Structure 1
Amino acid sequence: MKKSLLSLSLALISVVAFSQASVGIGLKAGANFANADVTDVNTDGVTSYHVGAYGLIKLTNIGIQPELLFSKQGASASGDDLDLSYVNIPVMLKFYLPAGVNLQAGPQFGMLTSAKDGDGDDIKDSFKNSDLSAALGAGWDAPFGLQFNARYIIGLSDINDNPFGTEYKNKTFQLSIGYTFFKLGK
């Protein structure tokens, strides 16, 4: 295992050193404005947060940015809040325009870590353990290591674990700021 990791690291460093590629690692955090599409139920949004790490592999004007995020999501219906916590893994394809401005799109895979109702009761068994979403957004990678992003994440899978219940799909608008603290290449 150690030899494989070392070999992969050396190969990545070689590719970066002899090409127009760059590799970066950073941390990010921001606000979530979450809601849900629920069959026959009107819901209100909730405001929460996300925090995590990202890697960025950039080749001239195309980049791939996988992330590992802890994300608080949910919705409110009839004054009762639903608090969902996820570990999300978005894999964003970034198309760079001039000056670091970029358009982003990609899938997001989520793993439910907790679900609580407005009284704080555990209702995790009422939801599926995974969530599949599509993410679309735009951002700016500043030349001094900062990233600013805005994304809309559209739930593709029904996360309600009751086959006879209403359909429940997450949707979240995110604003985030990140900082690339390690960068190798251009």
Structure 2
Amino acid sequence: MKKIAIVLLFTSFLIPAMAQSPINLGLKGGYSNSKLVTDMNAINEGSVDNYHVGAFARVTLGRIYIQPEAYYSSKGGTLEDMTNSLPEAVNSFDLKTIDVPVLFGINVVDKGVLKVRANAGPLFSFFTDKKLNGNSFNDDTIKDNYFGWQYGVGADFMFLTLDVRMENSSGDLYSGPYIDSDVRSKSVVVSLGIKLL
């Protein structure tokens, strides 16, 4: 009984301290739905469900904050040629990346232990593994990194964080023959995090 009382007492002091600290560090992970998109009408774009895990830091300056993150992410998709003009009708992509977004945000609602946030910022993404199934693409036709953007909303409750974001690459990921069109990455990212500091 004494141990439980000590833990509850410690937690009652820790949570307000975490809520008031201008610097937070934590771990996060979650679900993502991603696909590759082109501007070609004859290509059918398919999405895949994946995951991400990593860490974040947040520096709060009044109502605004800066939040750099780094996480390992699985993404990809399918591109299906509806005209069969490509060497293989369906090409699937299983891509692994290290993603480094730097988000700038504002606390829209700040009620002590509950915060509702909006944020946006640049994303730097580096491929660590590229598995492609299809004759139109191979490892050499997908670039090694790309620049993009993330934007979305989030909420904090005590030491827990929840984020829902859109992610778009800003440059062409494809550098090979057969397709005279930009190929870009697009994702919906949902993550749950815990503040350790």
Q: Do they fold alike, i.e. is TM over 0.5? A: yes
Cα contact 1:24–1:55 (8 A) shared by 2? yes
What residue in structure 1 maps to residue 175 of structure 2? 161
Distance in structure 2 (CA, Å) of the matches to 1:162 and 1:117: 13
Does residue 81 (structure 1) correspond to residue 92 (structure 2)? The answer is yes
Deviation at 1:124, TM superposition (A): 2.5
Between structure 1 and structure 2, the one with the greater Rg is: 2
Change (3 A) 1:163 1:93: farther
Q: Which runs of 5+ in 1 are unaligned?
A: 1-19
Moved more, 69-78 or 107-116: 69-78
Does residue 149 (structure 1) correspond to residue 163 (structure 2)? The answer is yes
Distance in structure 2 (CA, Å) of the matches to 1:111 and 1:136: 19
Q: Which runs of 5+ in 2 are unaligned?
A: 1-19, 81-89
What residue in structure 2 maps to residue 116 of structure 1? 131
Cα contact 1:21–1:59 (8 A) shared by 2? no
* Equivalent residues in 2 for 1:21-40, closer than 5 Å: 22-40=22-40
Cα contact 2:132–2:139 (8 A) shared by 1? no
User: Aligned letter for 1:110?
Assistant: S
Which of 94, 112, 115 is the aligned partner of 2:105? 94
| SS of 2:44 mapped into structure 1 | coil
Cα contact 2:28–2:56 (8 A) shared by 1? yes
Cα contact 2:58–2:66 (8 A) shared by 1? yes
Deviation track 1:85-130 (CA, whole Å, cap 9, x = no partner) reads 11010001111012310001000000111111238xx932211111
| SS of 1:162 mapped into structure 2 | coil
* TM-score (normalised: structure 2): 0.76
User: Aligned letter for 1:35?
Assistant: K
Cα contact 2:140–2:176 (8 A) shared by 1? no
Which of 167, 171, 176 is the aligned partner of 2:186? 171
- Percent of aligned pairs sharing the same letter: 27
What residue in structure 2 maps to residue 9 of structure 1? none
| SS of 2:100 mapped into structure 1 | strand
Moved more, 123-132 or 108-117: 123-132
Distance in structure 2 (CA, Å) of the matches to 1:96 and 1:178: 17
Deviation at 1:21, TM superposition (A): 6.3
Distance in structure 2 (CA, Å) of the matches to 1:84 and 1:138: 25
Cα contact 1:66–1:91 (8 A) shared by 2? yes
Deviation track 1:68-88 (CA, whole Å, cap 9, x = no partner) reads 011111111335421111101
Moved more, 56-65 or 32-41: 32-41
Distance in structure 2 (CA, Å) of the matches to 1:29 and 1:157: 26
| SS of 2:45 mapped into structure 1 | coil
* Equivalent residues in 2 for 1:58-73, closer than 5 Å: 58-73=60-75
